[in-house]
Chains A and B, each alone.
Chain A
Amino acid sequence: MKQRKNAGLLALLTLLLGFNTLFAQGLLDLSVGTSIQDQVFTNLAYRLQMNPRLRIGAELQLAAPQYRFIDAKPIREGYASTFSLPITWQLHQNEKIDLHFFFRPGVRFQGIIDPDNNDVRDEILSSTAIMLDPGLIVNVKASERLHFQSGVSFPTFFQVRPSAIFENNSTTIHANLAYEVSKRSVLFAKTLIGPAVGASGDSQKFVWSAQMGLRLKFGSSSKGNPLLMEPSY
Chain B
Amino acid sequence: MKNILLITLLILTQFLAKAQDNPQPKIGWFITPEVGAMFLDGHVGKTVGASFGVQLFKNHLKVGILSYGRSGPINGATFTTPAFNDMVYKGKNQLTLRADHGAFGLLLAPSFNIKNVSFDIPIMFGTVGGGFYLFGEDRETPDGRRVSEWENELMDGRDAGFGSTLEFGLRGFFPTKIAGMRWGMGLHYTTTQGWETFYDPRGEFYNNKLRASVFVHFGSN
Contact = CB atoms under 8 A, between A and B. Distances in A.
Contacts of A96: 178-181
Contacts of B218: 97, 99, 138, 140, 150-151
A154 B133 contact: no
Contacts of A91: 13, 16-17, 20, 29
A229 interface: no
Interface string A125-169: 000000010111010101000000011101010000000000001
**Residue from the set B12, B31, B100, B216 with the largest chain A CB neighbour count within 10 Å:** B31
Interface stretch (B46-54, B78-86, B88-96, B107-115): B46-54
Given A95-B179, A138-B218, A152-B50, A201 B131 contact: yes
Given A136-B52, A171-B68, A195 B102 contact: yes
Contacts of A92: 16, 19-20, 29, 220
A197 interface: yes
Interface stretch (B69-77, B118-126, B164-172, B201-209): B69-77
Interface residues of B, number: 49
Contacts of B221: 94
A150 B31 contact: yes
B1 A169 contact: yes
A225 to B, nearest CB: 15
Sort chain A's interface into a size bin. 35 or more
A195 B74 CA distance: 9
B117 interface: no
A7 B12 CA distance: 40
Contacts of B9: 101, 134-136
Given A92-B29, A201-B100, 20 more contacts: A91-B13, A91-B16, A91-B20, A91-B29, A93-B20, A94-B180, A95-B179, A96-B179, A132-B6, A135-B9, A136-B9, A152-B50, A154-B5, A156-B2, A171-B48, A171-B68, A195-B47, A195-B102, A197-B69, A200-B146
Interface of A: 36, 72-74, 89, 91-97, 99, 101, 132, 134-136, 138, 140, 142, 150-152, 154, 156, 169, 171, 173-174, 193-197, 199-202, 205-206
